[in-house]
A = this chain, B = another copy of it.
C-alpha cells in the first residue's frame, strides 16, 4: 500500500460519523482532508456501491453513513482499498529452469497470504465507531 486511499476513506467515514445529522458535501469533506473534491466523490461513489454511505444530489445534497458505525469494521474498509500485498509485489517471470525461481512465487504467495490474514484479523476487532470517537 503506497497510496493514501485508506487514509482518505477512513477520514471521510470519520467525518460522516462525527456529523450524523448533516449531509456533508464533497467540497466540505475535501476541505478537511485537503485534497481535490473529485477524489472524494470517487471514494464516496465506491462507498455507496459497497453500502456504507448514502448520497443525495442537488441543493442541500451530500452524504451520510448508511449504517451504524459500530457495525463497520476497519477490516471492511481496508479490504475495499487494499491493492497490494503487505510484502509487496512478486517478480513477474522468475526462471522456471531454476529450482528456486520455479517455486519462488508460490512460496511468496503463501507467506503473503499469512501476513494479510494477520492484519485483517486484527482490524476485524476495531470498529469505525471506536476509531472516530477519538476525534470527539
Contact A32 B95 (CB under 8 A): yes
Contact B6 A87 (CB under 8 A): yes
Interface of chain A, main secondary structure: helix
Contact string against B for A residues 75-102, beta-carbon threshold 8 Å, 1 for contact and 0 otherwise: 0001001011111111111110011110
Chain A contact-residue range equals 35 or more
The stretch that binds B, out of A44-52, A57-65, A107-115, is A107-115
Contact B33 A91 (CB under 8 A): yes
CA A119 to CA B111, docked complex, whole Å: 11
A11 contacts partner chain B, Cβ-Cβ < 8 Å: yes
A66 contacts partner chain B, Cβ-Cβ < 8 Å: no
Please name 23 pairs of A and B residues whose Cβ atoms are closer than 8 Å in the assembled complex, sorted by A.
A1-B85, A2-B83, A2-B88, A3-B89, A4-B88, A4-B89, A7-B91, A7-B108, A10-B108, A11-B104, A14-B100, A15-B100, A32-B101, A33-B91, A33-B95, A33-B101, A34-B93, A34-B94, A34-B101, A107-B134, A107-B135, A118-B118, A118-B122
